Amino acid sequence: MTVLTAAAIVLFTVCIYLFMSMIYRRYRWPVLMPALTATFTVVVLLLYFQIPYDTYMIGGQWINQLLGPAVVSLAYPLYRQRHVLRRNLPAILGGTLTGLLVGMFSGIFLAVLLGFPKLYVLSLLPKSITTPVAIQISANLGGESSLTSVFVMVAGFTGAIAGPYLLKLLRIQDAAGIGIGLGTASHALGTAKALEYGEESVSMSSVAMTMCAIAGSFAAPLVVWLLYPH
Protein backbone atom coordinates (compact mmCIF):
# COMPACT_ATOMS: atom_id res chain seq x y z
CA MET A 1 0.00 0.00 0.00
CA THR A 2 2.84 2.38 0.85
CA VAL A 3 4.48 1.83 -2.54
CA LEU A 4 1.16 2.45 -4.32
CA THR A 5 0.57 5.57 -2.26
CA ALA A 6 4.05 6.87 -3.03
CA ALA A 7 3.64 6.18 -6.75
CA ALA A 8 0.25 7.92 -6.78
CA ILE A 9 1.70 10.98 -5.05
CA VAL A 10 4.60 11.20 -7.51
CA LEU A 11 2.22 10.85 -10.46
CA PHE A 12 -0.12 13.42 -8.92
CA THR A 13 2.71 15.95 -8.46
CA VAL A 14 4.22 15.39 -11.90
CA CYS A 15 0.85 15.74 -13.62
CA ILE A 16 0.18 19.04 -11.86
CA TYR A 17 3.62 20.33 -12.83
CA LEU A 18 3.18 19.29 -16.48
CA PHE A 19 -0.23 20.92 -16.61
CA MET A 20 1.12 24.16 -15.14
CA SER A 21 4.03 24.02 -17.59
CA MET A 22 1.56 23.86 -20.47
CA ILE A 23 -0.21 26.94 -19.16
CA TYR A 24 3.10 28.75 -18.75
CA ARG A 25 4.25 27.90 -22.28
CA ARG A 26 0.91 29.16 -23.58
CA TYR A 27 0.97 32.59 -21.93
CA ARG A 28 4.63 33.10 -20.89
CA TRP A 29 3.71 35.26 -17.91
CA PRO A 30 6.47 35.10 -15.24
CA VAL A 31 3.83 34.89 -12.49
CA LEU A 32 2.68 31.60 -14.00
CA MET A 33 6.06 29.90 -13.70
CA PRO A 34 5.42 26.19 -12.93
CA ALA A 35 7.54 26.09 -9.78
CA LEU A 36 5.19 28.65 -8.22
CA THR A 37 1.81 27.60 -9.60
CA ALA A 38 2.41 23.86 -9.14
CA THR A 39 3.55 24.39 -5.55
CA PHE A 40 0.53 26.56 -4.81
CA THR A 41 -1.85 24.02 -6.36
CA VAL A 42 -0.36 21.11 -4.41
CA VAL A 43 -0.59 23.04 -1.14
CA VAL A 44 -4.22 24.01 -1.78
CA LEU A 45 -5.20 20.43 -2.63
CA LEU A 46 -3.42 19.04 0.44
CA LEU A 47 -5.26 21.51 2.65
CA TYR A 48 -8.62 20.90 0.95
CA PHE A 49 -8.42 17.11 1.25
CA GLN A 50 -6.72 17.36 4.67
CA ILE A 51 -3.75 15.25 3.61
CA PRO A 52 -0.90 15.47 6.18
CA TYR A 53 2.50 16.62 4.99
CA ASP A 54 4.10 13.37 6.22
CA THR A 55 1.69 11.39 4.05
CA TYR A 56 2.52 13.49 1.00
CA MET A 57 6.26 13.07 1.60
CA ILE A 58 5.91 9.27 1.31
CA GLY A 59 6.13 9.92 -2.40
CA GLY A 60 7.37 13.48 -2.29
CA GLN A 61 10.73 12.34 -0.95
CA TRP A 62 11.36 10.53 -4.24
CA ILE A 63 11.06 13.83 -6.07
CA ASN A 64 13.11 15.60 -3.41
CA GLN A 65 15.99 13.15 -3.94
CA LEU A 66 16.25 14.30 -7.55
CA LEU A 67 17.37 17.75 -6.37
CA GLY A 68 20.97 16.60 -5.93
CA PRO A 69 21.38 15.24 -9.47
CA ALA A 70 19.59 18.30 -10.85
CA VAL A 71 22.11 20.62 -9.18
CA VAL A 72 25.06 18.50 -10.31
CA SER A 73 23.75 18.59 -13.89
CA LEU A 74 24.36 22.34 -13.91
CA ALA A 75 28.07 21.52 -14.17
CA TYR A 76 27.59 20.48 -17.82
CA PRO A 77 26.51 23.89 -19.24
CA LEU A 78 29.08 25.49 -16.94
CA TYR A 79 31.84 23.35 -18.48
CA ARG A 80 30.67 24.15 -22.00
CA GLN A 81 30.73 27.87 -21.18
CA ARG A 82 34.04 27.85 -19.29
CA HIS A 83 35.59 30.28 -21.78
CA VAL A 84 32.78 32.74 -21.05
CA LEU A 85 33.42 32.27 -17.34
CA ARG A 86 37.10 33.12 -17.72
CA ARG A 87 36.36 36.13 -19.90
CA ASN A 88 33.75 37.54 -17.51
CA LEU A 89 35.34 36.57 -14.19
CA PRO A 90 35.76 40.17 -12.87
CA ALA A 91 32.16 41.02 -13.78
CA ILE A 92 30.89 37.80 -12.20
CA LEU A 93 32.77 38.36 -8.95
CA GLY A 94 31.89 42.04 -8.77
CA GLY A 95 28.24 41.60 -9.68
CA THR A 96 27.72 38.63 -7.38
CA LEU A 97 29.35 40.20 -4.32
CA THR A 98 27.54 43.50 -4.88
CA GLY A 99 24.20 41.76 -5.31
CA LEU A 100 24.79 39.61 -2.23
CA LEU A 101 25.60 42.59 0.01
CA VAL A 102 22.71 44.66 -1.35
CA GLY A 103 20.36 41.74 -0.76
CA MET A 104 21.58 41.30 2.81
CA PHE A 105 21.62 44.96 3.85
CA SER A 106 18.35 45.91 2.13
CA GLY A 107 16.51 43.10 3.91
CA ILE A 108 17.91 43.72 7.37
CA PHE A 109 17.62 47.51 7.00
CA LEU A 110 13.90 47.16 6.32
CA ALA A 111 13.52 44.64 9.15
CA VAL A 112 15.29 46.88 11.66
CA LEU A 113 13.37 49.93 10.41
CA LEU A 114 10.08 48.13 11.01
CA GLY A 115 11.17 47.06 14.47
CA PHE A 116 11.46 43.33 13.83
CA PRO A 117 12.93 41.33 16.73
CA LYS A 118 16.51 40.07 16.50
CA LEU A 119 15.35 36.49 15.71
CA TYR A 120 13.58 37.69 12.56
CA VAL A 121 16.55 39.79 11.46
CA LEU A 122 18.96 36.88 11.83
CA SER A 123 16.55 34.58 10.00
CA LEU A 124 16.12 37.11 7.16
CA LEU A 125 19.82 37.83 6.70
CA PRO A 126 20.70 34.87 4.39
CA LYS A 127 17.55 35.15 2.23
CA SER A 128 19.57 35.66 -0.96
CA ILE A 129 21.50 32.41 -0.50
CA THR A 130 20.37 28.98 -1.70
CA THR A 131 18.23 27.13 0.86
CA PRO A 132 20.59 24.42 2.24
CA VAL A 133 23.38 26.94 2.91
CA ALA A 134 20.98 29.65 4.15
CA ILE A 135 19.46 27.31 6.72
CA GLN A 136 22.88 26.37 8.08
CA ILE A 137 23.97 30.01 8.25
CA SER A 138 20.76 31.00 10.02
CA ALA A 139 21.11 28.22 12.59
CA ASN A 140 24.72 29.15 13.32
CA LEU A 141 23.81 32.81 13.81
CA GLY A 142 20.91 32.08 16.15
CA GLY A 143 18.08 32.46 13.63
CA GLU A 144 15.10 30.20 13.01
CA SER A 145 15.63 27.76 10.13
CA SER A 146 11.94 27.45 9.26
CA LEU A 147 11.63 31.24 8.94
CA THR A 148 14.76 31.36 6.82
CA SER A 149 13.29 28.75 4.44
CA VAL A 150 10.22 30.93 3.95
CA PHE A 151 12.29 34.08 3.38
CA VAL A 152 14.50 32.27 0.86
CA MET A 153 11.44 31.02 -1.05
CA VAL A 154 9.90 34.50 -1.09
CA ALA A 155 13.16 36.01 -2.36
CA GLY A 156 13.50 33.29 -4.99
CA PHE A 157 9.98 33.59 -6.35
CA THR A 158 10.05 37.39 -6.23
CA GLY A 159 13.28 37.57 -8.21
CA ALA A 160 12.23 34.94 -10.73
CA ILE A 161 8.91 36.70 -11.35
CA ALA A 162 10.01 40.34 -11.21
CA GLY A 163 13.46 39.72 -12.74
CA PRO A 164 12.37 39.49 -16.39
CA TYR A 165 10.41 42.74 -16.08
CA LEU A 166 13.40 44.53 -14.53
CA LEU A 167 15.75 43.14 -17.17
CA LYS A 168 13.42 44.42 -19.88
CA LEU A 169 12.97 47.78 -18.16
CA LEU A 170 16.73 48.26 -17.81
CA ARG A 171 17.33 46.90 -21.34
CA ILE A 172 19.77 44.25 -20.17
CA GLN A 173 20.22 41.78 -23.01
CA ASP A 174 23.67 40.33 -22.35
CA ALA A 175 23.36 36.62 -21.55
CA ALA A 176 26.05 36.70 -18.85
CA GLY A 177 24.49 39.74 -17.18
CA ILE A 178 21.05 38.11 -17.16
CA GLY A 179 22.45 34.94 -15.61
CA ILE A 180 24.43 36.77 -12.93
CA GLY A 181 21.42 38.89 -11.98
CA LEU A 182 18.99 35.98 -11.74
CA GLY A 183 21.41 33.67 -9.94
CA THR A 184 22.43 36.31 -7.41
CA ALA A 185 18.92 37.53 -6.63
CA SER A 186 16.96 34.28 -6.85
CA HIS A 187 19.46 31.41 -6.43
CA ALA A 188 17.98 28.07 -7.64
CA LEU A 189 14.69 29.52 -8.88
CA GLY A 190 16.58 32.24 -10.71
CA THR A 191 18.81 29.61 -12.29
CA ALA A 192 15.72 27.70 -13.43
CA LYS A 193 14.41 30.91 -14.98
CA ALA A 194 17.80 31.54 -16.62
CA LEU A 195 17.33 28.31 -18.59
CA GLU A 196 14.87 30.21 -20.75
CA TYR A 197 17.60 32.64 -21.79
CA GLY A 198 20.05 30.02 -23.01
CA GLU A 199 23.02 27.94 -21.93
CA GLU A 200 25.31 30.88 -21.25
CA SER A 201 22.79 32.51 -18.92
CA VAL A 202 22.15 29.35 -16.92
CA SER A 203 25.86 28.65 -16.55
CA MET A 204 26.52 32.18 -15.28
CA SER A 205 23.52 31.90 -12.97
CA SER A 206 24.79 28.67 -11.44
CA VAL A 207 28.19 30.31 -10.84
CA ALA A 208 26.53 33.34 -9.23
CA MET A 209 24.39 31.11 -7.02
CA THR A 210 27.46 29.18 -5.87
CA MET A 211 29.50 32.33 -5.29
CA CYS A 212 26.68 33.80 -3.17
CA ALA A 213 26.62 30.67 -1.03
CA ILE A 214 30.38 30.77 -0.44
CA ALA A 215 30.70 34.52 0.06
CA GLY A 216 27.55 34.65 2.18
CA SER A 217 28.97 32.11 4.60
CA PHE A 218 31.80 34.54 5.37
CA ALA A 219 29.86 37.81 5.06
CA ALA A 220 26.85 36.92 7.23
CA PRO A 221 28.73 36.61 10.57
CA LEU A 222 30.52 39.91 9.84
CA VAL A 223 27.22 41.68 9.13
CA VAL A 224 25.73 40.31 12.34
CA TRP A 225 28.78 41.52 14.29
CA LEU A 226 28.32 45.01 12.82
CA LEU A 227 24.62 44.99 13.72
CA TYR A 228 24.93 43.44 17.17
CA PRO A 229 28.52 44.06 18.36
CA HIS A 230 27.58 43.03 21.88
Q: How confident is the model at residue 17 (pLDDT cuts 50, 70, 90)?
A: very high
The domain spans of the chain are 2-65, 75-227
| pLDDT at site 1 | 45
> Would you say residue 114 has pLDDT above 80?
yes
pLDDT at 230: 63
> Over pLDDT 70: what percentage of the chain?
95
Average pLDDT over residues 28-38: 87
Average of pLDDT values for 18-39?
89
Residue 103 binned pLDDT confidence (cut-offs 50, 70, 90):
confident
Residue 128 to residue 188: CA distance in whole angstroms = 10
